[in-house]
Structure 1
C-alpha cells in the first residue's frame, strides 16, 4: 500500500465528517513498524480514538456490504460507495470491482462522537486579523488610488495564501484545501500529481511554488513599505510592466497541466488568476506615476531581498523539520517494534510480592494476564497517562485483570493528602459500579490543583465517603505491597510481573498490549 491508500483513508474520513490532524495521522502511520500494512492504518485510526474494523467478505455475501467502506483493490485501499446494489470506485464497474478486490473491507465505528480536531488554519486567524488591520491602517494613512490599492492588496494576499499552500503540498505537508477540490475525477484535478510530477526536466531544476511564494511575499512587503512613504504609485509603475514577465511562466504551467500531466491544479489556477488580475488593473486603472528616484529603487530592492531572506529561512526550517521528522519516524518505528519491546521487557525488574488481593481490581479478575498500575492522586505524570489507561480498561477488560495500587505514605502528617486517599478508596469500596471509582479519579486529576473547583467533586462523591476504618486498612495493604516491591516512582506499570521499561513512553503501552495478548493466547 502506498500514498494512494493514505489518500483513500483521508477521503473516507472526510466523507464521513471525521476530522483528524492529517500531518499527525501520516506521522503515526509511517512510524508504525508494519507500515504500509492494513494493520498500520487500523492502529493509526485507533490512535485518534477512531475504532475501525476489518472483515473478509466473500463474493456471495456482497449483499451485506455497507453503503460506504474501504476495500483492498489490487493491493491498495480504495473508497467504495454502494447504492442500489451498484458499486462506484475509481471508475470500476460493479463486475470489475468484484473481480479485482481482495475480499477485505475496512470500516470505522461512528457510534461515538469523534473528538473535533482543530484545523491548524484556525490558529492563524489572529495573525490574519493583524494583517487586515495593518492594511486598513495603510488605506486610511494614504487614501489615494484606493480602488487600485484594494484590488492589488487582496490579490497579493490571496496569491500568497495559495502559494504557501502550494509550497506545503510540494513538501508533503497538509493544507486547509479540501481533498475533494485538489483531487477529483469529476473535475479532473490532482494537485499532488501536478506539484510532484517530474515529467519535464525543467521541473527537476525549479520549484514553481517557491517562485510564487517569493513573488507574492515581496509584493506584500513592498506594498507596506511604499504605502508608509506614500509612494505606492512607484510600485504600481514597476508592476505595470514587470507582471508581463510572469505570463510565460503562467502559459508554461497551463501547458504542463493540460498537455503533459493532463490534470488541473486549482491552487495553480488561483495563483495565475491573481497575477492576471493585477496585470489588468495596473494597466487599465489610471494612476499618476511619480518620478523615479534612487531612494525608491533602494527601498524596492530592500523589500525584495527581505522576501528572499524569508523564503531561504523557510526552506532551511522546512529542511530541518523534514530531517527531524524522518528521524522521529525511524525512531518511532523502531521503538514500536514488539519483538524488541518484548526482549526489553524480559530484562526488567520483577515483582516479588504477587499478591493482588488488596488491589482495586477491574476487568476480568480470573484472567491469566494482568496489567498493574501504581499511581498517586497528586501525581501530574499519572494524570497525563490516565486517559491512555482508561482506554486500555475499556478495550481489554475481558482479557486482562487490571490492578490499581495507590503509592501512599500513611506516616505523613499531611491530613489533606490522607483524606483524599481515604475518600477515593471509600468510593471504590462503597460504589456498586466500580467504574465510578475510575471516573472519580479522573475527576480528581482535573481539579487537584484548583481548590475553587474541588467543592463540586466532593459534593458529587460524598455519598460514598462514610467510615475511614476499612479504607485505611486497605490503604495499609497498598502501602505494604508498594514497599515490598520497591516501587519508588509513579506512574509505574507492570505487565504480569515485569516492570514496564522506563525507556518507553507510557502512552506507547497501548501499541504493545494487543500483540502481548495475542502472543499469550496462542
Structure 2
C-alpha cells in the first residue's frame, strides 16, 4: 500500500509511518492503519457508518476508497482524495467506490514529522575512513575489492530503507527517476516480484547482509582470501537468478540490479585473478 500523498498532506515522517504500519501485528488491517496514525500523533477513531449518514461527517475524514486508506476532503459536492495520488470524485463516485469504514481524526501538536537524527553523515564518515584505511594498508586489488563491497553496502542500504518509505535519490537516479518513468517502474516491478522469503528476509535484505559480511572479512581478515574468493564464486548463482527474473519473468531490466551485478562481477574477476585459496586466520 502506498500512502505518500496522505503522508505528505499531514507532514508525517514517511519512514516511521511505513515502519510502524508494516511491522504492526495486524498489518495491513484498518487497526494497523489507525494505530500507526495514533502513534504518530494523529489521534483517531474508526467507525462502520452507512452512507446515509456520511452527509454528517466533517469536512476531513478518512475512508477506504478503491480499497486504499485515503484522506477525504469535502468541498460542496466534490471530494479530494489523498492516497497514493491525489484525485477528485463527486459524491456518487465516492459512495460507489468506498466501503462503510470511516476514520475520524484530530491532529495534535505532537505529530511526529521529522526524524530526530540523520545517520547519513556518520555513514559517509565511516565509509571514508574504511576507504582510506584500505588504500593505506592493503594491496591495490584488495583495496578495490573492499571499495566495491562498500558500494554494494551503500546501494543495498538504500534499497533496505526504501522498504520503509524513505525515498532514495541514489536509487531513483540509477533507475531513471521522473525523467524516465518506464525505467523507474521497471525497477519497482523487479523489486516487487522478489518471491524470496527466508525468515522474513528478501533478496535485497540478503544483499545488505552479504556485502556487510565480505566488508568485515576483507578489512579484518585480509589473509583469508580463500573465503572472499569462494563467496564471490557463490554470488554467480544470485547473478544468474537476477538475470532470469529480469529477462524471462518480468521481461524488463532493473538498472540498480545491474549495478549490483556489475559490482559482483568485478569482485569475481579480482578474486579469481589476484586472490589465492589460502585461509590464514590469525591465532
TM-score tier by shorter-chain length is 0.5 to 0.7
Equivalences for residues 251-400 of structure 1 within 5 A: 251-255=243-247, 258=250, 270-279=256-265, 289-290=273-274, 292=276, 296-299=277-280
Q: Is the 8 A contact 1:236 1:282 kept in 2?
A: no
What is the aligned partner in structure 1 of residue 96 from structure 2? 99
What is the aligned partner in structure 1 of residue 111 from structure 2? 114
Q: CA deviation at 1:136?
A: 1.7
Change (3 A) 1:129 1:76: same
Change (3 A) 1:31 1:214: closer
Instruction: Determine which of 69, 80, 87 is the counterpart of 1:77.
Output: 69
Q: CA deviation at 1:222?
A: 3.5
Question: Which secondary structure does the structure 1 equivalent of 2:13 belong to?
Answer: coil
Q: Is the 8 A contact 1:237 1:289 kept in 2?
A: no
Higher RCO (C-alpha under 8 Å, 6+ residues apart): 2
What is the aligned partner in structure 1 of residue 211 from structure 2? 216
What is the aligned partner in structure 2 of residue 496 from structure 1? none
Aligned residue pairs total: 258
Change (3 A) 1:152 1:235: farther
In 1, Cα distance between equivalents of 2:267 and 2:274: 18
In 2, Cα distance between equivalents of 1:157 and 1:71: 40
Question: Which secondary structure does the structure 1 equivalent of 2:11 belong to?
Answer: coil
Change (3 A) 1:236 1:223: same
Calculate the TM-score normalised by the size of structure 2. Answer: 0.57
Q: Is the 8 A contact 1:52 1:107 kept in 2?
A: yes
Q: CA deviation at 1:276?
A: 1.6
What is the aligned partner in structure 2 of residue 16 from structure 1? 10
In 2, Cα distance between equivalents of 1:152 and 1:213: 13
Does residue 247 (structure 1) correspond to residue 233 (structure 2)? The answer is no
Equivalences for residues 155-174 of structure 1 within 5 A: 155-161=151-157, 165=160, 174=164
Q: CA deviation at 1:175?
A: 6.7
In 2, Cα distance between equivalents of 1:90 and 1:59: 26
Q: CA deviation at 1:277?
A: 3.8
In 2, Cα distance between equivalents of 1:158 and 1:24: 20
Give me the CA root mean square deviation. Answer: 5.7
In 2, Cα distance between equivalents of 1:44 and 1:247: 38
Change (3 A) 1:118 1:58: same
Structure 2: runs of 5+ lacking an equivalent: 173-177
In 1, Cα distance between equivalents of 2:59 and 2:214: 54
Q: CA deviation at 1:70?
A: 3.1
Superposed CA deviations along residues 357-406 of structure 1, whole A, max 9, x for unmatched, are xxxxxxxxxxxxxxxxxxxxxxxxxxxxxxxxxxxxxxxxxxxxxxxxxx
Q: CA deviation at 1:145?
A: 5.1
Calculate the TM-score normalised by the size of structure 1. Answer: 0.35
What is the aligned partner in structure 2 of residue 361 from structure 1? none
Equivalences for residues 19-58 of structure 1 within 5 A: 19=13, 21-22=16-17, 25-26=20-21, 30=25, 36-37=29-30, 41-42=33-34, 44-52=36-44
Q: CA deviation at 1:142?
A: 3.4
Change (3 A) 1:71 1:290: closer
What is the aligned partner in structure 2 of residue 144 from structure 1? 140
- Asked which structure has the greater CA Rg, the reply is 1
Q: CA deviation at 1:255?
A: 4.4
Superposed CA deviations along residues 33-91 of structure 1, whole A, max 9, x for unmatched, are xx9456x74455334432346797769969x855xx63223665235688995756679
In 2, Cα distance between equivalents of 1:290 and 1:134: 21
Change (3 A) 1:108 1:14: farther
What is the aligned partner in structure 1 of residue 193 from structure 2? 194
